[in-house]
């Protein structure tokens, strides 16, 4: 159970982008889903929601982590690590060095796509989700994205997201 909260803390930490307005809950869900798609052990299943993959279980665990004092935030504010959360994550990692390897996935995701807009992360997470349910080719993926999100993304944006997914998978 503690490893779940450690992993949640690390996803929240990866979502803390220095640019103003770039650390919302929607973006945290998308970064968590992409990380999970690449092998990071994010707790709970994801479902397809209006803004792409969403995990009610992750949302509940984030609230639990906040209630335990590991995170700060409210419905109006993004989650941030509290001092207690920073200390917990540091101590947990010292006691469980085997967690360092999976962290490389979250770090890589944050480095590669952390500065993307929330809208682009929504598209990228949607492309990852579609691949997980069997839509592999760019044409098939583009058609399904257009069906799910009519007039939201251009073919070029979708092609770019498919390319980014391939790039991230190659780095893994």
When pLDDT is averaged across residues 102-114 and rounded to a whole number, the result is: 89
Average pLDDT over residues 57-68: 94
| pLDDT, tens digit (0-9, with 9 covering 90-100), for 120-133 | 999 999 999 999 99
Q: What is the pLDDT of residue 18?
A: 54
pTM of the model: 0.91
pLDDT of 33 over the 60 cut: yes
Residue 39 has what pLDDT? 94
CA 126, CA 51: separation in Å to the nearest integer?
Answer: 8
* CA pseudo-torsion sign 12, 14, 18, 20: negative
**Mean pLDDT (whole number) for 48-71:** 94
In the structure, what pLDDT confidence band is assigned to residue 48 with cuts at 50, 70 and 90?
A: very high
Q: Which residue has the higher pLDDT, 78 or 86?
A: 86
Model pLDDT, residue 20: 42
**How much is the pLDDT for 90?**
96
Percent of the residues in the chain that have a pLDDT greater than 90, as a whole number = 62
Nearest residue to 59 (alpha-carbon basis) of 48, 70, 43: 43
Q: At a CB cut-off of 8 Å and minimum separation 6, what does 82 contact?
A: 69, 70, 71, 72
Three-state secondary structure call for residue 54: strand
pLDDT at 93 over 90: yes
pLDDT over 90 (residue 43): no
């Amino acid at each position: 159970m503690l490893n779940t909260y450690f992993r949640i803390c690390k996803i929240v930490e990866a979502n803390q982008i220095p640019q103003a307005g770039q650390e919302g809950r929607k973006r945290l869900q998308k970064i968590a889903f992409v990380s999970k798609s690449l092998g990071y052990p994010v707790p709970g299943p994801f479902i397809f929601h209006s803004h792409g993959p969403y995990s009610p279980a992750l949302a509940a665990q984030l609230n639990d982590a906040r209630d335990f004092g590991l995170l700060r935030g409210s419905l109006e504010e993004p989650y941030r690590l509290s001092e207690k959360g920073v200390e917990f994550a540091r101590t947990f990692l010292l006691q469980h060095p085997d967690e360092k390897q999976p962290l490389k996935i979250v770090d890589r995701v944050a480095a590669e796509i952390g500065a993307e807009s929330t809208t682009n992360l929504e598209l990228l997470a949607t492309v990852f989700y579609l691949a997980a349910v069997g839509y592999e080719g760019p044409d098939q993926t583009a058609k399904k994205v257009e069906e799910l999100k009519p007039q939201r993304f251009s073919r070029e944006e979708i092609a770019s997201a498919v390319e980014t997914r391939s790039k991230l998978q190659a780095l893994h």
